[in-house]
């Protein structure tokens, strides 16, 4: 619908589009009092009940907070995009994609059925693919889109496998039914497999090390997409999954440690990668990765405080990172460049953007009194609480955050201060639509920081209930007084500023050696992709090589082997009762057929082959006569006659057969053919050695006259009981006849050109 | 005959498979015909053999006294034979056309009309 609407209201479409997420936002907000009171809303509709798939949705604290983030940031982004996308040709389609994305993301966080969740999960991957590749005329866009799709889609497959295993262990796919099954699941033999598969899905989606490489590349997408999908929502889907299942299948060392370590490594590693970037969006992308790592790590710690930190940090990050991305988009849009080296002194030209950016930056750096500050404080506190690894982790966290501070200074502050630089486009303030969204988010960050109790505390309580088992009552306070955590916060800021100051010098002085390829996960991806392609080609070359007989051999062998195995298994239960009695006619017929077959195979003369084929057909007809099937026999005679005539007509003019195959091929084919023959003989012998049910036979015999009004039972079956089959048969014949006619009557195309 | 027929069926199957693995298209068609015979005979045999008692309802009665041949496999075979003939006729016509167009009846030579492009490998 969006593209159509867009065509009508091109100018102001942003305003129209924004109503959709805003409406959702407020309807979710209206549920807030109930959720805060500890209730949860659950709706369920059976979809495929036989497979345990239901359209069941659950709104509790955790999903409500995600839903609010999704719709709020969505509203800001929709509005922003109204102005930003004006220059694009297919902006209408953009709204379609992003609308699909928002709906599926909401579905993801709301679904209470694992399989339903998977469906939405894949839908988000898919819409992300479309959005990253939105500038589909650029090769890099297409490549990045494909990369993101393959990585997240591959993870999605692992997730599906994990879900199915989980379903087979618990016997249900409803998430709310898992709630009390922690012991059952964790003690099951399949538990490690489940954990690994589910985490694989979550880590690829949330771009955890070593799958982080797709996220910076995904910055090829238009900026609103990056702000929405690749920082605020989609990449948090993995985090959401871990949080959602933390209570149900977590609590074991395997789960906690894997999550903790992966998160910590991602946090530090990706933060350092940001050091060399000069592109606004790439810088933000790497800091997003680092934050995602932190979130995952917090879930891995899993203490009360860590969950609290997780939650605050999650909201804070969505607010400030969305804002900064949109600011980056504004800068790009208004100045025409995203290179931080070329931006500067824009404070005067774009005062509102500058203020917004400053607010978001302070939040991101963790400066009082914004929500980011509370977030960072609690993160530090949660880490300090740990007795194992606490010291290492705090050092890593401080360092990673210092890099984030550096990124913030580069992105949120530097473009606005200092000397005004020449930019490709004359800088001026952005239109209103591009300002409201980010400004709103940034202000919200400030408000939540100043009055944390107002909104977050209740939500936090309810969300924590879904993540942890026990009730929590945690107060969030802005000011804790001077303590170790505060000192650490300041240390972070200082370090960050230092990094920022040193950055130009370091970058100039040192040529960083590029990492050897085998250390880079993105290189693994490239290799795997190339390997897969060449494997596919190789396979095609071997299997689809154009030789008809190779196809036949593959089919025959593939059918023969499992069938023989089944026959072998069944042979134990059956015994063949051979009946050697034979009459003269039978022996003679058998002899004739065998001779005719032998002649047909060996003959080089076409006429002789046709004659033996005819002899064979007529002998088989006589067998039908002997065994009380006069109708079949008559048909066989008629058809065989026609057949022979046809063959003679077509083939008489052609020369003798040449021996074309090598003898080795002949032997191979003979071996295959005779094994098929032996197999079929055995099948028939087995099949005829037990009692056959006579129900159908008696039914047809008894019903033939009263119901079919005919004495010949076979005929009655054909024209009455199975009349539709016969109709189909006639149709086939008619089609064949038309085909034959068409082929024989039309002139040959190639004959004209020798 | 209980033993001879299965042997003949096996032989027909073997001959059919052997022939469709040949390079000459005519032989492949022969192979198809033989496979058709083999399948029909197999259905017939598996439905049990009864001598001299076709499934006719005698005049004046409404049922047939045992023993009589099972009519259902016969009906199935009848359909199969006719459809098999349709396919044969079509294949023969196709063969004739192919021979005229490509001037060969060797399947291996025909394959270079639609080969996977070598350069892309």
- CB proximity list for A110: less than 8 A, separation 6 or greater: A57, A58, A59, A63, A67
CB contact under 8 A, B55 and A700: yes
| Domain extents in chain B | 4-52+71-109
Q: Is the Cβ of B34 closer than 8 Å to some Cβ of chain A? A: yes
| CA pair distance B31, B17, nearest whole angstrom | 6
CB contact under 8 A, B93 and A623: no
Q: Is the Cβ of A656 closer than 8 Å to some Cβ of chain B? A: no
- pLDDT of the residue at B35: 92
Q: 3-state DSSP call for residue B24?
A: strand
- pLDDT of the residue at A357: 83
Of residues A583, A609, A643, nearest to B88 (C-beta)? A643
**A130 CA to chain B: closest CA distance, Å?**
28
| CA pair distance A280, A282, nearest whole angstrom | 6
Q: Is the Cβ of A19 closer than 8 Å to some Cβ of chain B? A: no
Chain A residues 524-583 with CB within 8 Å of chain B: 537, 540-541, 544-549, 552-553, 556, 578-583
Of residues B45, B82, B101, nearest to A733 (C-beta)? B82
Q: Is the Cβ of B98 closer than 8 Å to some Cβ of chain A? A: no
Which residues of chain A have a pLDDT value below 70? 1-17, 35-40, 51-52, 89, 387-388, 418-428, 430, 452-482, 509-520, 546, 574-580, 652-661, 747-754
- pLDDT of the residue at A492: 82
Q: Per-residue pLDDT tens, chain B, 121 aa: give them.
A: 567 888 889 999 999 998 888 888 888 888 889 999 999 999 888 888 878 777 787 777 777 777 788 888 888 899 899 888 888 888 888 888 887 777 777 777 666 655 444 434 3
Of residues A601, A629, A725, nearest to B69 (C-beta)? A629
**Burial category of B10 from C-beta neighbours within 10 Å (exposed 0-12, middle 13-18, buried 19 and up):** buried
Residues of chain B in contact with residue A553, where contact means CB-CB under 8 angstroms, are 21
Question: Which architecture, in CATH terms, is B4-52+71-109?
Answer: Orthogonal Bundle (1.10)
| Domain extents in chain A | 268-511, 694-754
State the best of B75, B77, B100, B109 to mutate against chain A, taking most chain A CBs within 10 Å: B75
Q: Is the Cβ of A642 closer than 8 Å to some Cβ of chain B? A: yes
- pLDDT of the residue at A750: 44
Residues of chain A in contact with residue B2, where contact means CB-CB under 8 angstroms, are 578-581, 688
Closest-CA residue of A relative to B68 is A628
Residues of chain B in contact with residue A706, where contact means CB-CB under 8 angstroms, are 62
Listing DSSP states for A188-211 in one string gives STTHHHHHHHHHHHHHHHTT-TTS
Judge whether A374 and A452 are in contact, CB under 8 Å: yes
Complex-level ipTM: 0.87
Closest-CA residue of A relative to B71 is A714
Closest-CA residue of A relative to B65 is A701
Which is nearest to A105 in space by CA: A133, A63, A77, A141? A63
Chain B residues 45-64 with CB within 8 Å of chain A: 45-59, 62-64
Q: Per residue in A142-177, is it b (16+ CB within 10 Å) or e — as a string?
A: bebbbbbbbbbbbbbebbbbbbbbbbebbebbbbbe
CB contact under 8 A, B52 and A628: yes
- pLDDT of the residue at A143: 84
State the best of B7, B18, B34, B91 to mutate against chain A, taking most chain A CBs within 10 Å: B18
Q: Is the Cβ of B65 closer than 8 Å to some Cβ of chain A? A: no
CB contact under 8 A, B40 and A553: no
Which is nearest to A715 in space by CA: A699, A728, A726? A726
Q: Is the Cβ of B35 closer than 8 Å to some Cβ of chain A? A: no
Residue A561: Cβ within 10 Å count:
11
Q: Is the Cβ of B30 closer than 8 Å to some Cβ of chain A? A: yes
């Amino acid at each position: 619908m969006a593209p159509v609407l867009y065509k009508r209201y091109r100018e102001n479409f942003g305003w129209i589009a924004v109503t959709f997420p805003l409406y959702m936002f407020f309807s979710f907000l209206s549920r807030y009092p109930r959720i805060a009171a500890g209730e949860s809303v659950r709706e369920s509709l059976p979809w495929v009940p036989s497979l345990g798939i239901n359209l069941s949705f659950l709104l509790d604290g955790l999903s409500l907070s995600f839903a609010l983030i999704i719709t709020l940031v969505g509203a800001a982004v929709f509005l922003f995009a109204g102005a930003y996308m004006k220059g694009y040709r297919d902006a209408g389609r953009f709204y379609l994609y992003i609308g699909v994305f928002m709906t599926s993301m909401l579905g993801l966080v709301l679904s209470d059925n694992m399989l339903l969740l998977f469906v939405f999960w894949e839908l988000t991957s898919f819409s992300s693919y479309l959005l990253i590749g939105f500038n589909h005329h650029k090769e890099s866009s297409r490549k990045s889109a494909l990369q993101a799709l393959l990585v997240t889609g591959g993870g999605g497959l692992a997730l599906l496998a994990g879900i199915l295993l989980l379903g087979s262990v618990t016997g249900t796919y409803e998430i709310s039914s898992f709630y009390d099954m922690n012991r059952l699941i964790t003690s099951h033999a399949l538990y490690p497999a489940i954990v690994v598969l589910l985490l694989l899905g979550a880590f690829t989606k949330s771009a955890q090390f070593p799958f982080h490489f797709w996220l910076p590349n995904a910055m090829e997408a238009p900026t609103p997409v990056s702000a929405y999908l690749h920082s605020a929502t989609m990449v948090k889907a993995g985090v959401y999954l871990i949080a959602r299942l933390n209570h149900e299948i977590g609590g074991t060392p395997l789960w906690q440690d894997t999550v903790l370590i992966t998160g910590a490594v991602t946090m530090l590693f990706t933060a350092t990668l940001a050091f060399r970037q000069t592109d606004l969006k790439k810088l933000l992308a790497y800091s997003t990765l680092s934050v995602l790592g932190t979130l995952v790590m917090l879930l891995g710690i899993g203490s009360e405080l860590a969950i609290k930190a997780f939650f605050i940090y999650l909201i804070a990050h969505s607010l400030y990172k969305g804002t900064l991305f949109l600011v980056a988009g504004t800068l790009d849009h208004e100045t025409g460049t995203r290179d931080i080296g070329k931006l500067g002194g824009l404070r005067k030209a774009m005062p509102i953007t500058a203020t917004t950016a400053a607010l978001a930056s302070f939040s991101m750096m963790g400066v009082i009194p914004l929500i980011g500050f509370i977030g960072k404080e609690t993160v530090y506190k949660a880490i300090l609480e740990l007795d194992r690894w606490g010291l290492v982790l705090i050092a890593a966290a401080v360092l990673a955050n210092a890099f984030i501070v550096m990124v913030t200074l580069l992105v949120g502050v530097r473009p606005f201060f200092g000397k005004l630089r020449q930019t490709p486009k004359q800088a001026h303030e952005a239109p209103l639509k591009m300002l409201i969204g980010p400004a709103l988010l940034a202000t919200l960050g400030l408000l939540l920081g100043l009055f944390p109790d107002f909104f977050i505390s209740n939500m936090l309580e309810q969300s924590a209930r879904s993540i942890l088992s026990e009730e929590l009552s945690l107060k969030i306070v802005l000011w804790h007084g001077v303590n170790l955590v505060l000192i650490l916060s300041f240390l972070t800021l200082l370090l960050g500023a230092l990094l920022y100051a040193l950055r130009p010098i370091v970058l100039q002085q040192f040529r960083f050696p590029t990492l050897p390829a085998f250390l880079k996960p993105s290189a693994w991806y490239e290799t795997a992709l190339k390997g897969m392609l060449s494997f596919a080609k190789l396979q095609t070359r071997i299997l689809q090589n154009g030789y008809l007989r190779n196809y036949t051999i593959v089919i025959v062998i593939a059918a023969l082997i499992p069938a023989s195995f089944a026959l072998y298994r069944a042979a134990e239960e059956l015994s063949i009762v051979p009946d050697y009695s034979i009459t003269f006619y039978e022996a003679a017929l058998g002899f004739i057929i065998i001779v005719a077959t032998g002649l047909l195979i060996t003959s080089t003369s076409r006429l002789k082959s046709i004659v033996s084929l005819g002899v064979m057909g007529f002998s088989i007809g006589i067998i039908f006569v002997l065994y009380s099937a006069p109708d079949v026999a008559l048909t066989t005679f008629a058809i065989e006659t026609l057949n022979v005539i046809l063959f003679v007509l077509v083939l008489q003019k052609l020369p003798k057969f040449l021996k074309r195959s090598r003898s080795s091929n002949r032997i191979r084919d003979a071996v295959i053919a005779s094994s098929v023959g032996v197999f079929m003989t055995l099948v028939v012998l087995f099949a005829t050695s037990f009692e056959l049910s006579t129900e159908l036979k008696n039914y047809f015999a008894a019903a033939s006259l009263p119901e079919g009004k005919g004495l010949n039972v076979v005929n009655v079956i054909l024209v009455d009981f199975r009349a539709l089959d016969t109709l189909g048969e006639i149709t086939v014949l008619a089609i064949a006849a038309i085909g034959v006619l068409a082929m024989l009557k039309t002139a040959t195309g190639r004959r004209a050109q020798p | 005959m209980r033993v001879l027929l299965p042997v003949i069926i096996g032989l027909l199957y073997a001959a059919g498979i052997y022939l469709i693995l040949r390079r000459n298209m005519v032989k492949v068609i022969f192979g198809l015909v033989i496979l058709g015979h083999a399948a029909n005979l197999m259905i017939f045999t598996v439905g049990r053999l009864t001598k001299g008692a076709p499934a006719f309802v005698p005049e004046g009665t409404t049922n047939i006294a045992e023993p009589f041949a099972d009519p259902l496999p016969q009906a199935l075979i009848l359909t199969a034979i006719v459809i098999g003939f349709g396919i044969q006729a079509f294949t023969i016509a196709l063969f004739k056309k192919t021979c005229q167009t490509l001037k060969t009846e060797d399947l291996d030579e025909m394959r270079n009309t639609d080969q996977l492009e070598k350069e892309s490998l």
